[in-house]
Structure formats: C-alpha cells, structure tokens
C-alpha cells in the first residue's frame, strides 16, 4: 500500500508539473500572438498611404484655343491631401504638376506649388495654377483639334493631372526616418469647359502611383 501511495504521489506531481509547463507554453504563445497582432496593427496604421482629391478646377480660354488651333490656357485648382498615418509625419518639397488630356497627348500646361510639412491625421489644401505657353508655330494636329471640338460640344473634357514631389517621412514612436524619394500622384478628372463661373469639375479620382514604404503593410 505504501508503494502504491508513493507512486500516486509521484504521478500527481508529474501531472502538476506537466500542467504548469503546458500552461506556461500556452501563455507564451498567446502573448507572442497578441504582440504580433498589435504590433502589425500599429504598423498598418503608421503606413497608410496619403489621400489626394481634386476639390476645385477651372480652365480658361479653351474656346480661344479652338479658334487659334493651339493651346493657350490657364488652369486653377484646389487639391486636398490627407495624411492617414496614425504615427506618421510627412515632409513634401515643391510639387511639380502637369496637365494633359487623357488621350491624344494635348498638354495644357505645368505648374509648381510650394512644399509643406504634414502631421499625422492632418488635411492640407494644395492651391495653384498651371499655364500653357505654346512654342512659336506650335499648333494642334487634326486628332487633337477634333478631341477639343467634341469636348466643347459635349461639355465634358477628360484630363489628367500628374504630380511629382520629393518626399520623406518618419513613423512610429521612435520617429524612424525614411530616406527622401519621389512620390507620384495621378488625378483623372472630367470638367465642363463651358462653365464660366465656379468650378468646372464634374468627376475626379486620384491614385498614389508611387510612394516608397513597406509594401506588405501599405494600402
């Protein structure tokens, strides 16, 4: 009986030790899992790509361009950009913009806008102008002239704004710095060229085409 009791005691102790080890292993796995999930969630919030939207757009002298058979116009615009990163600071240098038709390669001018610093969750308006100054003797070809005539008649002109800007950013609680790179944004828009007062904007859609980041957690 004494041997049986000793065996039972040893068996009970082994079960207790095994149970403790299993509990500790399980607790460690849960802790590691929570760390990975929470750390990944923070990184995902840190690395949200910025948003861009065209808020206003106006182009003048398109009717004159049709008459003269060459582009000589000025466009004004308001573009809204939002830094969606939770712990992310962005520094933009000078914005370089160009305006073109979505087809037939018609250039409607270029422009620049001063850069700025943008804190996390901050929204900023980019306001500027683009001017087209054609070279002497430069005229529209037949396809380009037809495109503009159709756009004037249908009251819908399809345009694209391309933005290039030297950018850098810092993220996370340790403010990790990302080396400077060229960010590129492409904004497609439809405008009514016959509107003479207020914004001519009918529709817009902007896409961040290039923005250096950790591709596995950027969206």
The tens digit of pLDDT for each residue in 130-170 reads 998 776 677 899 999 999 999 999 999 999 999 999 999 88
Q: At 169, phi and psi to the nearest 5?
A: -150, 160
Query: In the structure encoding, which two tokens stand for residue 99, read together?
Result: 């305006």
Number of residues that make up the chain: 219
Report the 10 Å Cβ neighbour count for 38: 10
Paired tokens of 169: 């950013």
d(CA 12, CA 16): 6
- pLDDT (tens digit per residue) in 43-67: 445 568 899 999 999 998 777 777 8
Q: Name the DSSP class of 208.
A: E
Closest CA to 77 of 116, 109, 50, 121: 109
């Amino acid at each position: 009986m004494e041997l049986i009791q000793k065996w039972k005691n040893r068996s009970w102790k082994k079960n207790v030790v095994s149970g403790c080890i299993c509990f500790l292993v399980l607790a460690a796995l849960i802790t590691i899992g929570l760390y990975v999930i929470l750390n990944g969630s923070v990184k995902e919030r840190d690395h949200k790509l910025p948003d861009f939207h065209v808020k206003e757009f106006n182009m003048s002298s398109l009717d004159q361009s049709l008459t003269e058979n060459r582009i000589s116009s000025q466009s004004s615009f308001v573009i809204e950009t939002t830094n969606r990163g939770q712990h992310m600071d962005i520094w933009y240098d000078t914005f370089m913009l160009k305006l073109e038709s979505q087809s037939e390669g018609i250039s409607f001018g270029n422009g620049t806008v001063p850069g700025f610093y943008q804190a996390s969750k901050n929204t900023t308006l980019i306001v500027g102008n683009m001017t087209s100054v054609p070279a002497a003797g430069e005229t529209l070809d037949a396809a380009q002239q037809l495109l503009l005539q159709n756009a004037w008649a249908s009251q819908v002109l399809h345009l694209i704004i391309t933005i290039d800007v030297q950018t850098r950013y810092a993220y996370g609680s340790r403010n990790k710095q990302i080396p400077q790179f060229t960010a590129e944004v492409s904004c497609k828009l439809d405008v009514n060229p016959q509107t003479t007062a207020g914004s001519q904007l009918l529709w817009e859609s902007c896409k961040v085409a290039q923005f250096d980041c950790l591709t596995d957690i950027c969206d």
